[in-house]
Amino acid sequence: MTRTSYHHGALRGALMDACLRLIDTEGIAAVSLRRVAREAGVSTGAPYHHFADRAALLAALSANGFERLGAALAAARATADTPLAALTALAEAYVRFSREQPAYFRLMFRPELSQPEKHPDAAVAGEAAFAVLADTVADCVAAGLVEPERADTVTVAWWGIAHGLASLWLDGQLAKRANLMHTTAPDLVQNIIQACTGVLRRGVN
């Protein structure tokens, strides 16, 4: 393979992009610094200028993924007119992120690979993304939609709903179930999220 020259500042990004391509095409198990270097078209020693080992590379990708997710959630929240609409928008944005960024999503929730005890940036970025949801539930509390003592429970439950839908869709299971129900995966996701939102709405009526 022809070696490609990168400006030092661009090499890190090129390596991360190459790693994402490997995850997309062959899965996380295929990732090694040697394979990533070959995918990026650089020498096998080049990755060590930026990443001490495989875990450091995966941790950097996880952090970047959570930052992207957090930005997507914040943007979705900003478009909503009410706290309840914001919760719906967050769940939809979460599922959409998994569909648009499957390599990131498959990696972000694998702490045994990114070793957060050694590389805390991913955990920090993950908490920042989670805070967008927590703040939205706090808005629901302020609006009288959620009882204050249930705020933490509702936050985790909403995350669980969104993450479960995202994972099932990404793994192809949601499409199979939707087909048995004579509907489509997008419509099924939307109906489930709306049903969950309706439960909260009825809880205050």
Task: Give the tens place of pLDDT for each residue, 69-128.
Answer: 999 999 999 999 999 999 999 999 999 999 999 999 999 998 888 787 888 899 999 999
Residue 10's region, left for phi above 0, alpha for psi from -120 to 50, else beta, is alpha
Structure-token match 């992207």, residue found: 68
How much is the pLDDT for 119? Answer: 82
Q: What is the pLDDT of residue 5?
A: 53
Q: How confident is the model at residue 1 (pLDDT cuts 50, 70, 90)?
A: very low
* Residue carrying the six token digits 């096998």: 44
What's the CATH number for 1-51?
Answer: 1.10.10.60
- Highest mean pLDDT among 7-16, 103-112, 127-136 belongs to 127-136
Q: Give the predicted TM-score (pTM) of the model.
A: 0.89
As a whole number of angstroms, the distance between CA 90 and CA 11 comes to 33
- Averaged pLDDT, 156-174: 96
How many angstroms separate the CA atoms of 23 and 31, rounded?
A: 7
Number of H helices, E strands in the chain: 10, 0
- Give Cβ neighbours of residue 78 (< 8 Å, ≥ 6 apart): none
The matching CATH number, chosen from 3.30.565.10, 1.10.357.10, 2.30.30.100, 1.25.40.10, for 54-203 is: 1.10.357.10
Question: How is the chain split into domains, by residue range?
Answer: 1-51, 54-203
